Amino acid sequence: MNFDLTLQLPATFDLAHITLAGIAVILFFAFLLKPSKRILVDTEMDDSTTNDTPSIEVTDTDDNKIDSTAVPAVKESSTVKESSTIKQSSPESALQFLGLLQQEARLIDFVQEEIGVYSDEEVGAAARVVHEGSKKAINEYFTLSPIRSEDEESRVTLAEGFNASEVRLTGNVVGAAPFTGTLIHRGWRAEAVNLPKLSAGHDTTIVAAAEVEL
């Protein structure tokens, strides 16, 4: 299909056509040259205020104030790392060993029993059983060594910088190290722990199963 372009244009240009064409050209270039608006945020702190939040004035490039509610709030994206000085321990191992002490020494039964109704001889006999069973369980699953090599009741001197986690000071504690005192207890350190491995699905909260005799 052919178009006759001469039919699309007027044969002559009068003053009205020239005026309309000029206005259209001016509006076209005005649109192209118009600066785009951008948000300017003034985060300068006001010296006369003690508020930690900066005063924010939002304007465009024509110095016209813009409603601050129309501007999305800027949120701080700072990541706060929590540093905890307390290490949380898992209860499974403690429950497992408590069950072993109950198995070998009937420790829970002994502690939960009301011993006031028994004589000293009866309590002593029961304590012997608990002692033997507890010693067996501890020696089987733990390797222990004394922290201090000196004899108990001997005089010892703690130099400056001694390990406070290994030695606990009691009595009249004043001043700074070195300290000289009597060794009341040598302390114990666990050199190795060899608890039995648990099978999958084992419930460690059952430290002693109920017994039913048939």
At a CB cut-off of 8 Å and minimum separation 6, what does 42 contact?
55, 56, 57
For the chain, the structural domain boundaries read 10-67, 92-162+178-193
* 157 bridge partner residues: 180
Residue 190, classed as helix, strand or coil, is: strand
Query: Is pLDDT larger for residue 110 or for residue 59?
Result: 110
Residue 16, classed as helix, strand or coil, is: helix
At 185, the pLDDT band (50, 70, 90 cuts) reads: very high
pLDDT in tens, 64-80: 444 444 444 444 444 44
pLDDT for the residue 131: 97
pLDDT for the residue 21: 57
Average pLDDT for the chain? 76
pLDDT in tens, 20-31: 656 665 665 555
